[in-house]
Amino acid sequence: MSEISCTYLVVGGGIAGVSCAETLVVLVDPKDSIILITESSLVKAATNLVPLGKVLTKFDVQEKSAESLNRNIQVIEDQLLNIESESHAVTTVNGNRISYRYLCLCTGARPKLIDQAKGNPNVIGIRDTESVQEFQKRVKNATRLAVVGNGGIASELVYEISGIEVHWVIKDEYISSTFVDSGAARFFQERLTTRGEQKSIVKRMRYSEETAGTSTSSGAKRGAALGPDWHRTVDISGKLENVPDAVKIHHKVEIEEIVEQTDGFPLKLRLSNGEQIECDFVVSATGVVPSRNFMCDQEFQLGPDGGLFVNWEMATSVQDIYAAGDVCYAGWEHAPHWFQMRLWTQARQMGAMAARSMAAKRAGETIYQDFCFEMFNHVTQLFGYQVVLLGRYNGQGLNDKYEVLLRMTPGLEYIKFVMVDGRLQGAILIGETGLEETSENLILNQLDLSPYGEDLLDPNIDIEDYFD
Ligand SMILES: Cc1cc2nc3c(=O)[nH]c(=O)nc-3n(C[C@H](O)[C@H](O)[C@H](O)COP(=O)(O)OP(=O)(O)OC[C@H]3O[C@@H](n4cnc5c(N)ncnc54)[C@H](O)[C@@H]3O)c2cc1C
């Protein structure tokens, strides 16, 4: 067993871990050592950062070799096994024992499969390279697929896949409900009836995990969660040449039972409305479960979703252990317009916050929570559009007591303002609206906008000029 020692130990080569390690490099005394444990020789880093406002930042996620990280970060390709918090040390799968002063856990999350899957090999989740390889293998020989779930992963999948009949099973009234409301869903839905015709160029970097990675016993590679462009680097087409264009959406239903068949399609799904779907396999994209795949001599306080409960400093309940990204549960009292959602944006912000907190603790300094936690903020691409989500963009937590102002130009833009008592609580901006910073300001300063009434989104009024 090798004995290693460091000041800061970060576990996980995803966005949260890399953001934490890279922020530490900037903040800490160069004499203090930083170690990053990563399961794969490729790590994920945020690049090409473009600020779109005070808190809103658009960035690409790039996969890079762990060796290309700042040379003050010592990278160890390994897997965390056990934490001895009393003695401030961890042990790893490869037999290392690493002592730390501060530890930050950024082990991400794994896909949650629908309950009915019960170990069924024809029900798969998509999370990392390993699961994409599995998906690709299956889709090549398949003619009919069922996708379950209504978040970002399911939305991108049904939009991008070709050469296969797709049945999309959602429990909501409209598609992509994690991100948008029913109006925006209708705006998007048109894209599904013309699948493949008008995909626009994606600006984010694409990445590939083809060349490196720690092999698991099955010979596959492990690594960080995939990002939104995973489907660009792998061929995800089925074997059909003439496939109906439209995705068949099954609204407001759930899968009640999955029956295995020996004749025809391998699976028959019974839906809660009595309908049946026969298909080759099912992709379950119904959320994630925090990855607590290590042991510890003390019990961590957990959030209701099983994540490691952290306070605003990203400190867990165990002394000198922090956590960031998908693995954690944001346990502090949130600002009125912020809530947790397991996304790259928050993984990056939390990783940096954990680094600041650890560095401050070591230096005996006082810090404050980063401004980005004042308001939920996220930029992504859905169905080929830039999508900006701000504050309580879907009326989250407003108990249906809000008004909505809408402006939509089909095929071009969709703007939704969520208002309470004339004050902006959240916004969805789809397309190139140029309203990012104005919307941020209006949410943060809670200006009374009632004098403008419905004119606020009048296309003839340039609201940016009013409020910037
Ligand atoms: C298909 C897909 C599409 C997505 N699309 C979007 C999107 O459009 N926009 C968006 O913002 N977010 C998206 N997400 C979510 C986003 O990927 C996650 O929120 C983000 O990756 C979380 O970062 P993380 O660093 O916390 O975790 P991860 O990226 O999962 O990284 C965790 C790391 O920890 C490592 N690890 C785990 N256990 C151990 C251990 N015991 N020892 C050592 N290392 C360990 C893993 O190998 C991995 O490298 C998507 C996710 C998926 C799966």
Whole-structure pTM value = 0.83
144-171 mean pLDDT:
86
Mutate to test the pocket of ligand 1, among 147, 291, 388 (most ligand atoms within 8 A of CB): 291
Eight-state DSSP code of residue 143:
S
For the CA of 293, the closest atom of ligand 1 is 41
Tell me what pLDDT residue 245 has.
Answer: 57
Read off the pLDDT of residues 37-79 as tens digits, 9 standing for 90 and up. Answer: 999 888 988 888 999 988 999 988 888 898 889 889 999 999 9
Tell me what pLDDT residue 211 has.
Answer: 31
pLDDT at 236 over 90: no
Q: Are 20 and 348 in contact (CB under 8 A)?
A: no
Find the 454 Cα to ligand 1 centroid distance in Å. 41
Q: Binning pLDDT at 50, 70 and 90, where does residue 200 land? A: very low
pLDDT at 316 over 90: yes
Tell me what pLDDT residue 380 has.
Answer: 85
261-265 mean pLDDT:
92
Residue 456, judged by CB atoms within 10 A of its CB (0-12, 13-18, 19+), counts as buried
Eight-state DSSP code of residue 315:
B
Q: Greater confidence, 109 or 1?
A: 109
Is the CB of 125 within 6 Å of ligand 1? no
Q: Binning pLDDT at 50, 70 and 90, where does residue 226 land? A: low
Range with top average pLDDT, 117-121, 236-240, 281-285, 326-330: 326-330
Which residue do the tokens 């005394």 mark?
A: 29
Tell me what pLDDT residue 198 has.
Answer: 44
Q: Whose CA is nearest to atom 38 of ligand 1?
A: 107
Mutate to test the pocket of ligand 1, among 308, 342, 381 (most ligand atoms within 8 A of CB): 342
**Residue 29, C-beta contacts closer than 8 angstroms, at least 6 positions apart:** none
Alpha helices in 33-151 (DSSP H): 129-140
Tokens found for residue 174: 């409209």
Q: Greater confidence, 96 or 135?
A: 96
**Residue 62, C-beta contacts closer than 8 angstroms, at least 6 positions apart:** 44, 45, 46, 47, 48, 205, 207
Tell me what pLDDT residue 160 has.
Answer: 78
Is the CB of 380 within 6 Å of ligand 1? yes
pLDDT at 342 over 70: yes
CA distances from 89 to 3, 81, 180, 299, 390 (A): 10, 11, 44, 16, 40
Is the CB of 12 within 6 Å of ligand 1? yes
Q: Whose CA is nearest to atom 33 of ligand 1?
A: 12
Q: Are 398 and 163 in contact (CB under 8 A)?
A: no
Is the CB of 222 within 6 Å of ligand 1? yes
Read off the pLDDT of residues 405-423 as tens digits, 9 standing for 90 and up. Answer: 988 888 889 999 999 999 9
Is the CB of 126 within 6 Å of ligand 1? yes
Find the 189 Cα to ligand 1 centroid distance in Å. 28
Q: Which of 18-22, 86-90, 113-117, 364-368 has the lowest mean pLDDT?
A: 113-117
What torsion, rounded to 10 degrees, do the Cα atoms 295, 303, 154, 427 define?
A: -140
Within 13 Å and on the Cβ side, how many CA atoms surround 431?
14
